[in-house]
Amino acid sequence: MAVGNCPIYKNEALHAVMDRICDECHNMFRHADPNLRAKCRYAKCFDNDLFTTCLAIFFPAMELVPPVKRTVRLSS
């Protein structure tokens, strides 16, 4: 998808966050892949395995599947 056709670029706040995730991932792993930033951002408008992997690195507690409901018991 061409950069101009990516709907994420129309939402400045969302675009800034998603770009930042790609930037930080690139900073950590650029030795392994010098084109990581571009691959993360532009491949299918952030809808790619690389972006998902980077997201999981920076937000490990955030599950990418629906959360399981948990019951909390308070002792009295």
In a domain, 45, yes or no: yes
C-alpha closest to that of 44 among 5, 14, 15: 5
Of the chain, the percentage scoring pLDDT greater than 90 comes to 53
Greater pLDDT, 2 or 52 = 52
Q: Could you tell me if residue 33 is inside a domain?
A: yes
- Contact by Cβ (8 Å): 48, 42: no
30-45: pLDDT as tens digits: 999 999 999 999 888 9
In a domain, 68, yes or no: no
In a domain, 65, yes or no: no
Q: Which of 49, 51, 47 is closest to 37 using CA atoms?
A: 51
| Overall number of domains in the chain | 1
Residue 70 lies in a domain: no
Q: Is residue 75 part of a domain?
A: no
Residue 67 lies in a domain: no
Q: Which range marks the domain in which residue 8 is found?
A: 3-58
